[in-house]
Amino acid sequence: MLDGRRLTINERAAKLFTSAGCGDYAAVQEVLEQDKDLLREVDHDGLFAGWNCLHWCAQQGHVEVAKLLMDEAEVLGIESPTLVDMQDKEGDTPLHIAVSWGHAELARMMISRNADVKIRNDKRKTALDLATEGAGFRKQLKEFARISSA
């Protein structure tokens, strides 16, 4: 309930997405206790169209919340790979998002839970491709910082 009124499905899904993105374990747990089917919802209209709750969580690297989401998905009968492998409007999975944002621990956990590392996004990139590119970018930043401080 919000301000004494019942939340619509879109409001509840938004609360799940926001809570997952903020890493608020208790809030995610509370939302899922009320309606586990929200795990099937995706953001259709927002800036990140096609993102599910795990995409939001992956962007910020919240490992414990990701485990909770994947565990609850399994209880509901949504296998973790299904939740983990859901592609957004650009073809990115939560694994792509985690890797793009440099969240190695979360990426390792997703892979250990059978995330498909061979899925390609609309740019034909796998999560490994993005990790390699990201590592190169981080190396360039370190080199720039070294040169700039000299």
- pLDDT confidence bin for 150, thresholds 50/70/90: low
Integer Cα distance of 18 and 3 in angstroms: 17
Residue 2 counted as domain residue: no
Residue 3 counted as domain residue: no
Radius of gyration of the chain (CA): 17
* Domain range enclosing 46: 9-149
Q: What is the DSSP letter of 88?
A: -
Residue 142 counted as domain residue: yes
Residue 120 counted as domain residue: yes
| Residues in contact with 66: Cβ distance below 8 Å, sequence separation at least 6, in sequence order | 54, 57, 58, 94, 106, 109, 110
Residue 66 counted as domain residue: yes
- 11-39: pLDDT as tens digits: 889 999 999 999 999 999 999 999 999 99
- 81-115: pLDDT as tens digits: 589 999 999 999 999 999 999 898 999 999 999 89
Residue 34 counted as domain residue: yes
Looking at the 3D structure of the chain, how many domains does it have?
1
> What CATH number is attached to the domain comprising 53?
1.25.40.20
